[in-house]
Amino acid sequence: MADLQYKIIVGLEIHVQLCTKSKMFCGCAVEFGAEPNSRVCPVCLGMPGSLPVMNKQAFEYAVMAGLALNCNIPMFTKWDRKSYYYPDLPKNYQISQYDLPLSENGYIEIPLESGQTKRIGIIRAHLEEDAGKNVHSSGNFSQVDLNRTGTPLLEIVTKPDMNSGAEVRALAVELQRLVRFLGVSEADMQKGHMRFEPNINLKITRNGTEYRTPIVEVKNLNSFRALERSVSYEAQRQLDEFLETGVVFGMGNKTTRGWDDEKEMTVLQREKEEAHDYRYFPDPDLVPVELTQEWLDEIKSRLCELPLKKQLRYVQEYKLSDYDAGVLTADRSTADFFDEAIKAGGEPKRVCNLLTQTGLKITKEKNCSINDLHISPKSVADLASMVENSTISASSAAAIFEAMVKTGRQPDILAQELNLVQKSDADELESIVDQVLAENAEAVADVTSGGKKEKKARGFLMGQVMQKTKGQANPKVVSEILAKKIG
């Protein structure tokens, strides 16, 4: 059998919908799920005589993303028309950016399962307007909904630097977190805010000779799962095809395939990529955008520490687990809240536990952000300190957290009111321990004899103390007294 090795090579095109209030070139609202053709005007309908006006916010969001992707941001960028006929594109050209995109030559670090990161090159990221939607119902016609027409999209093109479905997925997930962190996109997959088009082929080495399979582009994937699986499926399919037919890169053009989510396979869409001629030329209705240093600095000032960097810092600096650090940095408001609580003197691990175990449970139930709970980072820091110095137990902390959210009051007051302050007074606890020991001679004997029953008997005695103190005894102090009395 021949000696055969192969490597998957994947580059991605990603469309990210920016979360501006209005569309890219008109004042219409960007709104998901509105009644068809209700969020339209002469401009996004491409009516005769209408003219586009650039949404400055969209441009600034795109520059923020470009900066976060470590791209070079040219001071001069322009708009081009990309021509093709399709019913969901009312002008029959799309306003996009061709040879002078607003950002280029960057990279993104993605986390690998090994805990290492990998750098994936970004060729460019540019702004363009989205098309509408063709609705195919039964019958001898189609309908067109133009609500989405003109929605600002950031198109990001990566270098073919990814070598597995898992890496492609990691990039997609990391990018989602990044744009959410920046606040430039909601990146809601269900609403189609992120759409992926992987370009996939294989580098095969057989008997010392290297072959490359023809590139396949899988169109319009809108879930991480479909993205990862389509890449893995396609790799296997290309390998099989190569072994069967020997077809290699350069024999015929790039083909386009779609993903069948039910059958979990890619299906051929276009055998030979039609020789598309988009006839790009500069849009004469829009003026080029010339950034000033002042403007660029202002946009830069809105950037923040990026999520992956923050996550790594939490692990290194605060010794949090990678998992916990990931949860805290999943969105910017949680991470900011955490940072503020640490600044207010909270012990990182305790604050982390309070936020991940209680805070985020509440936000998930309420489907809101941590800021919507109307509690201050300082109060959570104080709560953490109360656990840290044993004023309250870890389990009471959860109850107090919930009470803080309900009442908006401070944790120390709530601890008093709810009778959750632990008894740590050794003298007081000692007399209770004495009482328990006197009442339970059998258990005491089990402990002192040191047999099989010792552990259970200790637990029983501790439980009795807790019962008498209504659970408020500091277990650490009780353990110490018990150890002193009965060894």
Binding positions for other proteins, rule: CB under 8 A? 42, 45-54, 81, 83, 85, 87, 90-93, 142, 144, 277, 279-281, 284-287
SS3 345: coil
| Least distance to other proteins, CB of residue 278, Å | 8
Question: What's the CA gap between 368 and 358, in Å, rounded?
Answer: 14
Per DSSP bridges, beta strands 216-218 and 255-260 are parallel
Question: Taking the complex as a whole, how short is the minimal distance between the CB of residue 145 and other proteins, in angstroms?
Answer: 12
Alpha-carbon distance 407 to 230, whole Å? 49
Q: Would you say 49 or 208 has its CB closer to other proteins?
A: 49
Nearer to other proteins by Cβ, of 288 and 345: the residue is 288
Least gap, CB of 43 to other proteins (angstroms): 8
CB 95 → other proteins: shortest distance, Å? 11
Kindly state the smallest distance separating residue 141's Cβ from other proteins, in Å: 10
Q: In 3D, which of 314, 31, 68 has the Cα closest to residue 181? A: 68
CB of 256 to other proteins, least distance (A): 19
Token pair of 298, please?
A: 């202002």
* Closest distance of CB 81 from other proteins, Å: 5
In the bound state with other proteins, the residue whose beta carbon lies nearer, of 285 and 317, is 285
Nearest distance in Å: CB 301, other proteins: 26
Please count the other Cβ atoms lying within 10 Å of the Cβ belonging to residue 249. 14
* Identity of the residue, 271 or 285, whose beta carbon is nearer to other proteins in the bound complex: 285
Handedness of CA 214, 219, 222, 225 (dihedral sign): negative
* Nearer to other proteins among residue 9 and residue 26 (C-beta): 26
**Residue among 37 and 357 whose Cβ is closer to other proteins:** 37
Distance CA 305, CA 335 (A): 10
Smallest distance, Å, CB 11 to other proteins?
22
Q: Which is nearer to other proteins, 240 or 285 (CB)?
A: 285
Q: Measured from the CB of residue 86, what is the shortest distance to other proteins in angstroms?
A: 9
Distant-in-sequence, close-in-space partners of 389: CB < 8 Å, separation ≥ 6: none
CA 273/CA 266 separation, integer angstroms: 16
In terms of DSSP H, where are the helices of 87-223?
165-182
Our CB check for other proteins shows the closer of 11 and 90 to be 90
CA distances from 51 to 25, 59, 101, 281, 283 (A): 8, 18, 21, 17, 11
Instruction: Report the amino acid identity of residue 114.
Output: S
**C-alpha–C-alpha distance, residues 487 and 483, integer Å:** 5
Give the residue from 157, 152, 18 showing the smallest Cα distance to 95. Answer: 152
Single-letter amino acid, residue 455: K
- Type of residue numbered 331: D
- Contact between 65 and 104 under an 8 Å Cβ cutoff? The reply is no
Q: Closer to other proteins at the Cβ: 109 or 145?
A: 145
Tell whether the torsion through CA atoms of 189, 190, 196 and 198 is positive or negative. positive
Radius of gyration of the chain (CA): 30
* Residues written for the chain: 487
Within 126-216, residue ranges assigned H as helices are 165-182
Residue with smaller CB distance to other proteins, 26 or 162:
26
Least CB distance from residue 100 to other proteins, whole Å? 14
CB-CB contact of 155 with 195 (8 Å): no
- When the beta carbons of 40 and 375 are compared against other proteins, the nearer one is 40
